[in-house]
Amino acid sequence: MLKGTLQTIILKLLEDNSQMYGYEITQKVKEVTAGEFILTEGALYPALHKLEADGMLETFTEVVDSRVRKYYRLTEQGGKEVTDKLNEAQVFIEQLQLLLNLKPAVK
C-alpha cells in the first residue's frame, strides 16, 4: 500500500546521521526496532543504488581494517525528498489507523 517505505527509512536515517554505510544501516534498523525489522542485503543494496541513481544520495568509500566501506550521504535533493516522504508516511499511517480502528475515536 505504501510504496517506498524502505526508501523513506533510509533517507530518514541519513538525515539523522549524515553519513552511514550499508551494513551500518541494517544494524541500526535492527537495533531501533529491537530486532523486529530485519533489513536484508537483497532489499537494502538495490534500494541504495536506486536512491543514488535518482540523485538522492551520494557516496564515498573508506577502508577500515582492510575492509571497504561505502558511505552514503544525502544530496540537496535528497534532503528535500525526506520531508516529502515523511509527510506521506505520516498520512499513510493515520489513514491506516483509521481503517483498522487502531486509534480509538476521540470523544
Interface residues with DNA (CB under 7 A) are 1, 3-6, 21-24, 27, 40-43, 45-50, 64-71
- Contacting residues for 103 by C-beta, under 8 A, at least 6 apart: 94, 97
**Where does this chain bind its own copies (CB under 8 A)?**
1-2, 5-6, 8-9, 12-13, 16, 29, 32-33, 36-37, 86, 89-91, 93, 95-102
Name which of 45 and 60 has its Cβ closer to its own copies: 45
Q: Which partner, DNA, its own copies, none, binds residue 69 by CB below 5 to 8 Å per kind?
A: DNA
- Distance CA(11)–CA(1), nearest Å, equals 19
Q: CB of 90: closest distance to DNA in angstroms?
A: 18
Q: Which residues contact 92 (CB under 8 A, 6 or more apart)?
A: 1, 2
What whole-number distance in Å separates Cα of residue 44 and Cα of residue 57?
14
* Cell triple for 52: 543514488
**Cβ at position 26, least distance to DNA in Å:** 8
